[in-house]
Structure 1
Amino acid sequence: MDICDKANDYADHLNRNAIANQLAMVRSPAAESLTECVDCGEPIPMKRRQAMPGCVRCVSCESRHERKKR
């Protein structure tokens, strides 16, 4: 992987985070959750999606995201 690939991956990561942040702000509590985390791409467990309608991140990534916002 060369430096251009790394830069593209990083830009893609930043874009996904920006989109996820915007979606999180406009989603209503009754909104449908995503099936995959916008940050890491891992599946979001059904129990989390049921407990937190409209979620866009897995528990680990959401915790990290909330710590960064403080």
Structure 2
Amino acid sequence: MAIGWAGDGAVQDQIDATVNDAVQRARLQLKHGPGRTHCEECDAPIPAARRKAVPGVCLCVNCQQAHDAGRGASLYNRRGSKDSQLR
């Protein structure tokens, strides 16, 4: 049953849209191509298995982990809070 102006599936629609946006952002960040043979950061060799598994790779595992740890994830829902959407 809907309350106020929101439709029956408004909350699930918002969740689906947020997940789809996150997937699209992640796909845009993926690189393409054969990748590098040596790390851009530390010049360590990148194993062939990693280059095959991660197309367009440019960092070794250690540098990639350090890069990911420094990035952090945005937990802010840019579509607004559930309460503001359903009023």
After TM superposition, the score normalised by the length of structure 2 is 0.47
Q: Distance in 2 between matches of 1:36 and 1:66?
A: 19
Identity of paired residues, percent?
Answer: 34
Q: Corresponding residue for 1:32?
A: 34
Residue by residue over 1:32-64, the C-alpha shift from the partner in whole angstroms, topping out at 9 and shown as x without a partner, is 110000010000001100110100000110000
Q: Corresponding residue for 1:56?
A: 58
Structure 2 SS opposite 1:39: coil
Structure 2 gap segments, 5+ residues each: 1-28, 73-87
Aligned CA-pair RMSD: 1.5
Amino acid at match of 1:42: A
After TM superposition, the score normalised by the length of structure 1 is 0.57
Contact 2:38 2:59 in 1 (8 A): yes
Query: Whose helix proportion is higher, 1 or 2?
Result: 1
Contact 2:51 2:57 in 1 (8 A): yes
Runs of 4+ in 1 over 2 A off after TM superposition: 25-28
Structure 1 gap segments, 5+ residues each: 1-24
